[in-house]
Amino acid sequence: MKKISRKEFIKTSAAVSAAAGIGVSLFPGMTYAKNSSSMNWHKSVCRYCGVGCGVMVGEKDGKVVAVKGDELNPINKGHLCVKSLYLPKAINSKTRLAHPMIRKNGKLEKASWEEALDLVAKKFNQIRKAHGGNALAFYGSGQAETEETYMANKLFKGCIGTNNVEGNPRLCMASAVGGYLTSLGADEPAGLYEDIEKSEMFLLVGSNTAEAHPIVFERIMRHKNKNPNVKIVVIDPRKTPTDQVGDLHLFPNPGFDLAIFNAMAFVLINEGYADKSFVEKHTFIKDNKKNIHTFEDYKKFLEDFTPEKAEKISGVPAQQIIKAARMFGKAKTSMSLWTMGLNQRIGGVWANNLIHNLHLLTGKIGVPGSDSFSLTGQPNACGGVREGGGLCHLLPGHHLVVKEAHRKKVAKVWGVPASNIQPKPGKHTIAMFSALNAGEIKGIYIMCTNPAHSLPNSRKYWKGLKEQFVVVAESFFPTMTTEYADVVLPAAFWTEKEGVYGCTERRSQYMPKVVEPQGEAIWDAFILRDLAKKMGFDKEFAKYETAEIMWDEYRGLTAGKDMNLMGAPYSRLKKVRGLTWPVPTEDHPGTYKRFTDGDPIYDSKWSSKAKSDGRRMWFYGPKAKDGKATIWMRPHKDPAEVPSKEYPYALTTGRVLEHWHTLTMTGTSPQLNRAVPKAYVEIHPSDAKKEGIKNKEMVLVESPRGKLEIEARVIDRPIPGTIFVPWHWPESPINVLCNDAFDPGSKEPEYKVAAAKITKA
Amino acid sequence: MAITGVVILVEPNKAEEILYEVSHLDDVTTYGLHKENNIVAVIEGENSKNLENKINQIKDKIDGILGIFPAYANYEEEIDE
Ligand code: SF4
């Protein structure tokens, strides 16, 4: 047999993996590429975005040295995007924090774990004693594991007695939650990614899918390639790589798209695409005051949003709106996908409602290929924070702090008096950081996130971070937030801990511990457990010796809920490529479509009722009544800041493919850094000409909140009157200029529209 | 040594032409055109420093490439650097 070199072997393995992702066996009969490697392969999940791709982690001699796409994972079928390829570099990066640090005389100095945790426990107890539990707060992350958020929830809500527990998903998807709850009565999508290959039409709104959710985009692109009749409509104020598959692109002025969705509904009804029988049987039509209306009232309401009127509001030609509506209506199945462009707005919940309206109006929901499907930014925003209850009004497993029965149930499982859990929601993110500024909150524990960089109008909130007692648990150092920390705790990173991530499509997936944590790093859930013990909650936290114990306790709280995970113990999750809830028993395969046939909750509780009523769906979620969803009559709403004479441009922000959030991870890769090394401002050529700005010249970008000097990129990606800046780089933190006005329902801030001016620097 | 296995998704009517072009690039080994418009390739570098640049260059240089999707990355000898 021919001897192959190590390099040849790796090359062959790489080729075989790539081919397997498209269902091709490169060397039939040849098995060495998979089996004879000296590498140990472990099934895991990508650390980055909410798509939730399956990755295989290659470990050799106690180090992670390779990753490959997991061919058996139904989400990505072996493919990955470029960010995830560099995960091994992030684990082994020089910026990993190796030991605890305490600020002494203004400087962070190395400390022992004992010293650091003693100090935090002492300070937190002092604050609690002197000012009450509400003077403390926890700020977590959609990148933390469910078990980690679960520990934080118990410590703060169940033991310290404050509901000041928030997480960065408030900043990215709270409006999607609000939209699902108010429209469909329950959070999270009704369908799954597998609808993509069954859909005839895609409506991509406020989403640069190609760069922010690359594997979802790949699936759409492959599907369209195979089926050229598939239509794709993009609604976004900016041209992006997503356009390469678009059949039609609508460019609204930032923040002015609500009228477009209403105008599409107008066209759908007037051209006969509405499914009146579905509407009648499955929905209520309501106005903003929750008064119920008839279909005729709704039609009348929509007369204020004819395509011509919507053109005046949005800047999108009426003919294009009509065309988009027709594409949506004509297709047998349609799928809407959206993300921050829709959510990060003061009208975010309304915008979400108006997308759901299109599906409810045409009955394009609850059937294969049709769904209103919100894309998630972070890998465990759905699992850990939405489902795990990591926000100020929630308790784990879709329970609410305002409900006495829920408080009692959760308190019993936690082994704490029900009176410990406060009946009122705590402070949402912006209120929390404002309270830190005001000195009302005096101590905060920040885990796995970088708010000094990521908050909108961030400079405003640096004051509170500077003045109050700040603890940061992080894997990387330094970050903009550790600059303000009094104590920094080194946290174990991906592959150094086990736990569960729940992605965009209701899928919970297990991640194993593959290697030992670097330096003195410890798993976040254990840091919180040990801190709790030091604070005097020894009895309450004594039992949490493993991640599995935490998961099982949490899982128990989901029994009987719409997000039932009882059928997903570690023993099963270790074998399968995730399970999509509801999954009530260990022999249940997981659910494809909610609220209809095949959904175990629908089948067991609602199916016969629905059928006797002539319905094919029953919206049984906590906010739905009589099994009905809601079509909302939401009028247009201007963004909080409209371009003016002084600030004539609309500033909008976003991600680039190569980077992730505040660069703590992707910034560790020289490759990714070189690919997009620094911030830039995209300016339309006509605006550049007007302002006398040339490509690559330095410009001052200024909003009412401050200014930044950034390099100009003169390009016809944004529409005239709009400028775009990616938000990743701490040297040019564009969030300083963003508006912190927020949606009154979801409390999600309006990152996506701020008034700005540009001048030559 | 840094090695990545990728699928290059291309416009079907330009597939053969692109396969030819890609297979003549330095440090790129192709493993055929599959399912009409998928080229399987391995891109390598002495170290990972230029891997990302190479992927971007291929995308920019050759017309008709819809996307490059990596599936495997190996840094065995580089992690300690
Ligand atoms: S699409 Fe998201 S989850 Fe998938 S590999 Fe890329 S970053 Fe990871």
As a whole number, mean pLDDT of residues A552-561 equals 98
pLDDT, position A531: 98
Residue A601 located in a structural domain? no
Cβ–Cβ of A65/B75 closer than 8 Å? yes
Q: What's the A261 CA to ligand 1 centre distance in angstroms?
A: 29
Q: What is the DSSP string of A687-751?
A: HHHHHT--TT-EEEEEETTEEEEEEEEE-SSBPTTEEEEE---TTS-GGGTS---B-TTT--B-T
B43 vs A498, which has greater pLDDT?
A498
pLDDT band (50, 70, 90) for residue A32: very low
With CA atoms as reference, the chain A residue closest to B56 would be A675
Tokens of residue A631, six digits: 């079509």
Taking the CA of residue B24 and the nearest CA in chain A, the distance in Å comes to 17
The model's pTM: 0.90
Residue A578 located in a structural domain? no
Residue A622 located in a structural domain? no
A425 and A313, same structural domain? no
A339 and A193, same structural domain? yes
pLDDT, position A35: 41
> If you search the block for the tokens 């920040």, which residue do you land on?
A446
A550 and A466, same structural domain? yes
pLDDT, position A1: 39
Q: What's the A236 CA to ligand 1 centre distance in angstroms?
A: 22
Res A551 pLDDT > 50: yes
Domains in chain B and their CATH numbers? Answer: 2-80 (3.30.70.920)
A184 and A223, same structural domain? yes
Percent of chain A past pLDDT 70, that is, above it, reads 94
Residue A681 located in a structural domain? yes
> If you search the block for the tokens 């007037």, which residue do you land on?
A270
Q: What is the ipTM of this complex?
A: 0.93
> If you search the block for the tokens 């962070």, which residue do you land on?
A108
pLDDT, position A83: 77
| A376-398 CB burial, b ≥16 within 10 A, e <16 | bbbbbbbbbbbbbbbbbbbbbbb
Closest atom, ligand 1, to C-alpha of A51: 3
A746 and A723, same structural domain? yes
Cβ–Cβ of A17/B71 closer than 8 Å? yes
As a whole number, mean pLDDT of residues A565-579 equals 98
What CATH code is carried by the domain that includes residue A428? 3.40.50.740
A76 and A179, same structural domain? no
pLDDT tens digits, residue range A307-347? 999 999 999 999 999 999 999 999 999 999 999 989 999 99
Residues A79, B72: Cα–Cα separation, whole Å: 8
pLDDT, position B44: 83
Residue A521 located in a structural domain? yes
Res A151 pLDDT > 90: yes
Range of the domain at A412: 101-172+380-558
pLDDT, position A671: 55
**Nearest CA to A210 among B23, B4, B59?**
B59
Q: Of A374, A389, A421, which residue sits at a domain end?
A: A374
Give the amino acid at A155: L
As a whole number, mean pLDDT of residues A110-135 equals 98
A30 touches chain B (CB under 8 A): no
pLDDT, position A742: 97
Report how many domains make up chain A.
4
pLDDT tens digits, residue range A445-487? 999 999 999 999 999 999 999 999 999 999 999 999 999 999 9
A430 and A497, same structural domain? yes
Most confidently predicted of A18-32, A184-198, A669-683: A184-198
Q: Of A540, A558, A576, which residue sits at a domain end?
A: A558
What CATH code is carried by the domain that includes residue A71? 3.30.200.210
pLDDT tens digits, residue range A408-437? 999 999 999 999 999 999 999 999 999 999
As a whole number, mean pLDDT of residues A83-96 equals 84
Res A674 pLDDT > 70: no
Tokens of residue A297, six digits: 């009232």
Residue A582 located in a structural domain? no
A23 touches chain B (CB under 8 A): yes
Cβ–Cβ of B3/A14 closer than 8 Å? yes
A514 and A405, same structural domain? yes
A14 and A33, same structural domain? yes
Q: Of A558, A593, A624, which residue sits at a domain end?
A: A558
pLDDT, position A728: 66
Res A694 pLDDT > 80: yes
Contacts of A228 (CB under 8 A, 6+ apart): none
Q: What's the A30 CA to ligand 1 centre distance in angstroms?
A: 29
What CATH code is carried by the domain that includes residue A669? 2.40.40.20
Res A732 pLDDT > 90: no
Residues A489, B75: Cα–Cα separation, whole Å: 29
A6 vs A593, which has greater pLDDT?
A593
**Residues from chain B contacting residue A675 (CB–CB below 8 Å):** 52-53, 56
With CA atoms as reference, the chain A residue closest to B48 would be A671
Written as tens digits, the pLDDT of chain B (81 aa) is 678 888 999 988 899 999 999 988 888 999 989 988 999 999 887 666 667 778 878 888 888 888 888 888 777 655 443
Give the nearest partner residue to B67 out of A10, A218, A669, using CB atoms: A218
| A129-143 CB burial, b ≥16 within 10 A, e <16 | eeeebbbbbbbbbbb
Res A444 pLDDT > 70: yes
A21 touches chain B (CB under 8 A): yes
pLDDT tens digits, residue range A224-282? 888 989 999 999 998 887 887 889 999 999 999 999 999 999 999 999 999 999 999 99
pLDDT tens digits, residue range A176-197? 999 999 999 999 999 999 999 9
Residue A626 located in a structural domain? no
A443 and A328, same structural domain? no
A106 and A84, same structural domain? no
Residue A550 located in a structural domain? yes
Chain B interface test: which of A17, A83, A208, A658 (most B C-beta within 10 Å): A17
A178 and A168, same structural domain? no
Range in A6-10, A494-498, B6-10 the model is least confident about: A6-10
- Which of helix, strand or coil describes residue A223? helix
